[in-house]
Amino acid sequence: MPFIDWESRFELGIENFDDHHRRLVSLINKVYDDYTAEAPSEVLGAVLEDLIDYASYHFYMEELWMDNNNYSRLDQHSAEHDKFRTAMIEFKRDYNQGKLNLSLELLMFLKNWLTDHILKTDSEYGVFIKSKGAGL
Ligand SMILES: [Fe+2]
């Protein structure tokens, strides 16, 4: 069973961003699988890097869309993204320097942050997009 099971309630009904979210779930599941399989730190480091890169791309695309569409809650939304970006960058730096091990605590943070963010903050712009009848 995957660490995060994709659930229909995660879907915003916006194909592009739903695909991004599915990919983020699958990357976090990959980190979890490698962690539980006790993969070497280079392997875990590389998959964490993939997750950080993809999350950055995804956040950028959401923020760009919000900016282009005058979404009023862009600042609050991007502040939430920043918390995740900062936490991951600090974690990756410490991990690379051997100061920190990957832990179940970090994996739970990733899981909870993403699922909460999709269900609460992202769903607000999902409603906004649909109300505007706006495409992507
Ligand atoms: Fe978001």
Domains of the chain: 14-130 (1.20.120.50)
Mean pLDDT value across residues 37-52: 92
Question: Which is more confident, 58 or 94?
Answer: 58
CA of 81 to the centre of ligand 1 (A): 6
Cα atoms in the 13 Å half-sphere on the side-chain side of 125:
26
Instruction: Please say if the pLDDT value at position 111 is more than 80.
Output: yes
CA of 3 to the centre of ligand 1 (A): 21
pLDDT grade, residue 135 (50/70/90)? Answer: low
CA of 114 to the centre of ligand 1 (A): 9
CA 65 to chain centre: 17
Q: What angle do CA 24, 28, 32 make, to 5 degrees?
A: 165
Instruction: Please say if the pLDDT value at position 44 is more than 60.
Output: yes
pLDDT grade, residue 75 (50/70/90)? Answer: very high
Predicted pLDDT of residue 131: 80
CA of 122 to the centre of ligand 1 (A): 5
CA of 35 to the centre of ligand 1 (A): 26
CA of 39 to the centre of ligand 1 (A): 30
CA of 46 to the centre of ligand 1 (A): 23
pLDDT grade, residue 58 (50/70/90)? Answer: very high
CA of 40 to the centre of ligand 1 (A): 31
Predicted pLDDT of residue 11: 95
Question: Which is more confident, 29 or 88?
Answer: 29
CA of 98 to the centre of ligand 1 (A): 30
Q: CA 81, 32, 7, 76: dihedral to nearest 10 degrees?
A: -10
Under a CB-based contact definition with an 8 Å cutoff, are residues 23 and 54 in contact?
A: yes
Mean pLDDT value across residues 95-123: 92
pLDDT grade, residue 136 (50/70/90)? Answer: low
Predicted pLDDT of residue 129: 80
How far apart CA 107 and CA 112 sit, in angstroms, is 9
How far apart CA 94 and CA 27 sit, in angstroms, is 20
